[in-house]
Amino acid sequence: MAGIYVYSDKPALAAELVSLAKQAGQPVNVLALDKDIAEALAGYGPDKVILIQGDSNIIENYAKPLAAFLKDEGAELFLVGATARGRDLAARIAGYLGCGMVSDVSSVAIGDGKVSCERLIYGGAVTQAEDIEGMAVVTVPAGRGEAVKGGAAEVITKQLIADKKAELVETACIVREGVDLAAADKIVCIGLGMDKKEDIQMAAELADALGAEVGCTRSICEERKWLPNYIGISGETVKPSLYVAMGVSGQVQHVVGMRDAKVVVAVNTNEKAPIFAAADYGIVGDMYELIPLLTKEIKNAKGA
C-alpha cells in the first residue's frame, strides 16, 4: 500500500487532505480512529480507509506503531492536518522514522523521488521552498484543498498496540464565540479605519445585504476587543469567494490570512495602503460615505 497516507483529528480537514493528495497521482490512504469517521471519509475519494483499532482513544499513543506501519507499507508521504494534535502526532512519527518534516505548508508535490513543499516564513513575507528525499511527514493547514465527494473506498481495520503512558481522563467542549470565518463564503472585514465599536453595525448591514459574515483584523480583536476572532497568519485563514476590506491597512500578517480569497474589494482613505496591492477592486475614499451607499445599491439591486 505504498503511496500517500493522510490523517487529521478533524474529519473536514482530512477530506481536504485527500483531495490535495490525489493531485500527486499516487494511491491515497486515510487513517481514522473512529468507525463513523472512517465510513464518512470513504466517500471522499481515497483508495482505502484504514480504521485503527486498539485499547486507546488518543491518536498520539499510536505514534510509534503507526511509524512502523508506515515504514512497512513503504509510504512516501504522511500528510497530517495542522491542528494542535496533528502537529504533535506528526513530530512524533517523523522522530521515530528519522525522516524529514515540514510544518504548515501552502503547497506539496511528489516527483523524482522527493517531496517538494512551499511554506510561508517571516510572518508571510517570504515563501520558502523545501525538498525532502524519501519518506516525509508534512502538516497542512485547513483551506489548502477542496474536499470532493465521490467513490466508496474499502474500510479495513488495523490492530495496533498503543503506548498508554498518557490516558484520557475527561473531555470538555470549548465554548467558542463568534462565527466560523474559515467556513464563510463571503466576508466583510473591518480594520483600524473604523472609529468606534458602534460602527460595526455599518459593516453588519453590508454583510447582511451580501449574505456575508463580519470579520476583523488582529488589532480590532486583541487591542480594541470589539470582535472575538480575527483574520491573519496567527488567527483565522479564510478562503471566501468575496472579501470586502473596510479601513484595513493590509499589513502582510493580515494579508496572509485572506490571500486566497477569490475576489477582494478594498475601501481605504489612504491610496498607498498595502491592501490595494492584494485587492482586485480598490476604492480610495471614506468608508463612512461609501459603505452605506454600496449597501443601499446592493439592496436595491436585490429588490429589482
Q: Supply the pLDDT for residue 139.
A: 94
Q: For all residues of the chain together, what is the average pLDDT?
A: 90
Q: What is the pLDDT of residues 220-269, one digit of tens each?
A: 999 999 999 899 987 888 989 999 999 999 998 899 889 889 999 999 99
- Decide: 137 and 94 in contact? Cβ < 8 Å: yes
Q: Supply the pLDDT for residue 142.
A: 84
Spatial separation of the C-alpha atoms in residues 273 and 266, rounded to whole Å: 10
Q: Supply the pLDDT for residue 167.
A: 73
| More confident site: 121 or 153 | 153
Q: Supply the pLDDT for residue 250.
A: 93
Q: What is the pLDDT of residues 63-121, one digit of tens each?
A: 999 999 999 999 999 999 998 899 999 999 999 999 999 999 988 888 777 889 988 87
**Does position 284 have pLDDT exceeding 90, yes or no?**
yes
Residue with cell string 517571516: 122
- pTM value is 0.72
**Does position 175 have pLDDT exceeding 70, yes or no?**
no
Domains defined along the chain, listed by start = 3-159 (3.40.50.620), 181-303 (3.40.50.1220)
Rounded to whole angstroms, what are the CA distances from 226 to 167, 174, 195?
39, 21, 12
What is the three-class DSSP state of 136?
strand
Please state, as a whole number, how many other Cβ atoms lie within 10 Å of the Cβ of residue 294. Answer: 18
Confidence band, pLDDT 50/70/90 cuts, at residue 176:
low
Residue with cell string 523524482: 112
Q: Supply the pLDDT for residue 123.
A: 67
Spatial separation of the C-alpha atoms in residues 107 and 46, rounded to whole Å: 19
- Decide: 151 and 45 in contact? Cβ < 8 Å: yes
